[in-house]
């Protein structure tokens, strides 16, 4: 079992779904955690309660990841509360909506890029001083199967943004390696126990997606969280610039 005792973590978009699962998993392995949320304060409070029950220090912070001042504020609050920062998981992101290119406005494309790609850049930049001071910082970004296969109908902007997250991750890994900071991406596919697919895909499309998976089932948020725990562990110190696909064999390469 990976030991994260004494490690200090901030997870963005951790009020529900994959982010919540990652926050809880980090705490289960010994980390103290700040749970960031956008508009899910009530759900974040439930995550905080669960982590507190594990005996870990925990705090919820809200903030808009598309606003630089907000990001700087909540990263600062997290760092101050924890007394430093060793782990940053940039999970916050959103499909926003399915829109065909012919119908897509500049504003929609920019919004999707902002909340997925630029927000990741902002958050890493804000956390860099604390991660450098850690001496063994870990950053995990959130890509997607869509970055590899272009996504489903109406997801061109999302797939482009998530492909950008992979490029950002590789560039950061090189730039931050001298600071002993590793940077890796997770690329989930169909994770069936989150709101994402229920919100943006019909039941028929979800069933077809699962039927086409080589493993014959959808994934779980806990399985994504397990990969995150490994990437932030001491054992993964030689792993950086990688993208870990968690997609049931949907994108063999």
Q: What is the pLDDT of residue 55?
A: 98
pLDDT of the residue at 1: 77
State the first-to-last Cα distance of the chain, in angstroms, to the nearest integer. Answer: 29
E strands, the chain, are 8-11, 32-37, 58-62, 87-90, 138-142, 182-188, 243-246
Helices and strands (DSSP H and E) totals, the chain: 10, 7
Mean per-residue pLDDT, 193-215: 77
Confidence of residue 252 (pLDDT cuts 50, 70, 90): low
Residue 236 in any domain: the answer is: yes
Distance CA(47)–CA(21), nearest Å, equals: 9
Residue 176 lies in a domain: yes
Residue 2 lies in a domain: no
Instruction: Report pLDDT for 187.
Output: 98
Compute the residue count for the chain. 253
DSSP helix/strand/coil, 244: strand
- From 66, 68, 72, 127, select the one nearest 92 (Cα to Cα): 66
| Burial environment of residue 42 by CB neighbours within 10 A (0 to 12, 13 to 18, 19 or more) | exposed
CATH number of residue 30's parent domain: 3.40.50.720
User: pLDDT tier at 203 (50, 70, 90 boundaries)?
Assistant: confident
Residue 219 lies in a domain: yes
The pLDDT tens digits for 140-175 are: 999 999 999 999 999 999 999 999 999 999 999 999
Based on the structure, what is the number of domains in the chain? 1
Mean pLDDT value across residues 191-202 = 72
Which two tokens mark 9?
A: 């973590």
d(CA 189, CA 184): 17
Question: Has residue 1 been placed in a domain?
Answer: no
| Mean pLDDT along residues 18-45 | 97
Domain of residue 209, residue span: 8-246
Would the pLDDT of 51 be above 70? yes
pTM for the model: 0.95
Does 145 fall in a domain? yes
- Per-residue pLDDT at 120 exceeds 80: yes
| CA neighbor of 28 nearest in space, from 46, 10, 1 | 1
Residue 252: inside a domain, yes or no?
Answer: no
The span from the CA of 38 to the CA of 36, in Å, is: 7
- Backbone dihedral angles phi then psi of residue 247, each to the nearest 5 degrees: -140, 15
What is the pLDDT averaged over residues 124-146? Answer: 98
Segment 115-134 shows an average pLDDT of: 98
Q: What is the pLDDT of residues 58-67, one digit of tens each?
A: 999 999 999 9
Chain mean position to CA 38: 13
Instruction: Identify the band that residue 196 occupies on the pLDDT scale cut at 50, 70 and 90.
Output: low
The pLDDT assigned to 168 comes to: 98
The answer as to whether 160 is a domain residue is yes
For residue 195, is pLDDT > 80? no
Question: Is a pLDDT exceeding 90 seen at residue 46?
Answer: yes
Enzyme catalytic residues = 158
């Amino acid at each position: 079992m990976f030991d994260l005792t004494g490690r200090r973590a901030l997870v963005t978009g951790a009020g529900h779904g994959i982010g919540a699962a990652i926050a809880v998993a980090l705490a289960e392995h010994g980390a103290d955690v700040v749970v960031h949320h956008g508009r899910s304060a009530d759900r974040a409070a439930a995550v905080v309660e669960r982590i507190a029950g594990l005996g870990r220090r925990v705090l919820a912070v809200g903030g808009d990841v598309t606003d630089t001042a907000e990001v700087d504020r909540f990263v600062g609050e997290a760092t101050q509360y924890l007394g430093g920062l060793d782990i940053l998981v940039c999970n916050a992101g959103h499909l926003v909506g399915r829109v065909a290119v012919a119908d897509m406005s500049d504003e929609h494309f920019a919004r999707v890029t902002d909340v997925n790609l630029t927000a990741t850049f902002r958050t890493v930049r804000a956390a860099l001083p604390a991660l450098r001071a850690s001496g063994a910082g870990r950053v995990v970004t959130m890509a997607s199967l869509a970055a590899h296969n272009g996504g489903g109908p109406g997801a061109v902007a999302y797939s482009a943004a998530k492909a950008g997250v992979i490029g950002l991750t590789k560039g950061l890994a090189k730039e931050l390696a001298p600071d002993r900071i590793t940077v890796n991406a997770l690329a989930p596919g169909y994770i069936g126990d989150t709101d994402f697919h229920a919100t943006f895909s019909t039941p028929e499309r979800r069933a077809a997606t699962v039927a086409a998976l080589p493993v014959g089932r959808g994934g779980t948020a806990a399985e994504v969280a397990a990969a995150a725990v490994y990437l932030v562990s001491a054992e993964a110190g030689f792993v950086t610039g990688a993208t870990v696909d968690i997609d049931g064999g949907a994108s063999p390469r």
